[in-house]
């Protein structure tokens, strides 16, 4: 399992912030004639009825978790970013901008929690669970030895996350240079599936990973149904709720994203090589002209 060192200040939002972070880092939009249209973020509807995950996740849990906790993050973020440049951004951009390379800004916890919860709701379906198939199963077997091996590692990550947080299955294909002490450095062994865990609202987007499955292990996610038995909640999630179809389609997108980046990287290298070759030829030509003149 991936083990990440996240500073406690980052994890608890205790990092000292600029006193005027909003006006300093995200200045107010200027009044221009063609001002970009902005709209408030809204609470996305669940992809299923409130009671349809029962008996594994109760209607009461979803009413509290989606209807109250998730909604409060949406309302808080809208208030916080009103009038700033963040208001014009897509949710994922707000997450990355307010992560601020580890020096977390106030909107991050709300933006990331909105993104994480949207992702979590879509990771489940009524009658979920079972086993994946196709490319997803092949990569799981390649990277974890077996499906059971991945499940074991995922459960261990979810159960051992101290305090509030998340556990993830991610496709790791870093390309960015993450020049930041709280980020794991890109490894030589990229382009593979790994299990990760993160504290509070932190998600793998900030490490430039592509998440494909998430479980919320904040206590509000399971206390009504399982009290303090987090292990039971995680087992029920994996065995009865996960939508492997959604996870498979996310993996396809992650592989395509990595391949697209790879192609762009190769094209850039070829262009640089051509420019270098042209420059060398010009230099050689001018040298031979000098020789002829002599």
Nearer to Fe ion, 216 or 225 (CB): 216
Nearer to Fe ion, 103 or 198 (CB): 198
Nearest distance from residue 216's CB to Fe ion, in Å?
A: 4
Nearest distance from residue 77's CB to Fe ion, in Å?
A: 15
Nearer to Fe ion, 67 or 186 (CB): 67
Nearer to Fe ion, 62 or 258 (CB): 62
Nearest distance from residue 221's CB to Fe ion, in Å?
A: 5
Instruction: Measure Cα distances from 126 to 55, 153, 174, 224 in Å.
Output: 10, 24, 33, 19
Nearer to Fe ion, 108 or 218 (CB): 218
- HSE on the CB side for 29, CA within 13 Å? 17
Residues of this chain that bind Fe ion (CB under 5 A): 216, 218, 221
d(CA 292, CA 294): 5
Nearest-CA neighbor of 235 among 212, 215, 219, 213?
A: 215
Helix boundaries (H) for the chain = 8-11, 21-25, 59-64, 71-81, 91-99, 107-122, 134-144, 147-160, 223-226, 230-236, 244-293
Nearest distance from residue 66's CB to Fe ion, in Å?
A: 9
Say if CB 10 and CB 65 are below 8 A apart.
no
Q: Which residue is nearest to Fe ion (CB)?
A: 216
Nearest distance from residue 244's CB to Fe ion, in Å?
A: 22
């Amino acid at each position: 399992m991936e083990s990440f060192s996240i500073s406690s200040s980052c994890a608890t939002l205790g990092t000292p912030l600029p006193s005027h972070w909003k006006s300093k880092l995200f200045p107010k939009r200027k009044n221009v004639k063609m001002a970009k249209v902005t709209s408030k973020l809204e609470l996305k509807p669940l992809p299923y009825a409130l009671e349809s995950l029962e008996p594994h996740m109760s209607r009461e849990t979803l009413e509290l978790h989606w209807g109250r906790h998730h909604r409060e993050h949406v309302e808080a973020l809208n208030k916080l970013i009103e009038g700033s440049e963040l208001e014009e951004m897509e949710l994922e951009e707000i997450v990355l901008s307010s992560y601020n390379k580890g020096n977390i800004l106030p909107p991050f916890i709300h933006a990331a929690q909105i993104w994480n919860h949207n992702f979590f709701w879509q990771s489940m379906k009524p009658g979920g669970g079972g086993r994946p198939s196709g490319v997803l199963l092949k990569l799981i077997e390649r990277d974890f030895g077996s499906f059971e091996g991945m499940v074991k590692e995922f459960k261990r990550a979810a159960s051992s996350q101290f305090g509030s947080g998340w556990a993830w299955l991610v496709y790791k294909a870093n390309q960015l240079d993450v020049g930041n002490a709280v980020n794991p450095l890109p490894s030589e062994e990229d382009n593979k599936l790994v299990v990760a865990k993160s504290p509070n609202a932190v998600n793998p987007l900030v490490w430039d990973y592509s998440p494909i499955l998430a479980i919320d292990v904040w206590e509000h996610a399971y206390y009504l149904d399982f009290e303090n038995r987090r292990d039971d909640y995680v087992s029920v999630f994996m065995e009865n709720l996960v939508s492997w179809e959604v996870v498979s389609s996310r993996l396809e997108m992650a592989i395509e994203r990595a391949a697209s980046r790879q192609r762009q990287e190769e094209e850039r290298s070829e262009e640089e090589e051509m420019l270098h070759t042209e420059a060398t030829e010009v230099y050689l030509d001018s040298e031979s002209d000098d020789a002829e003149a002599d």
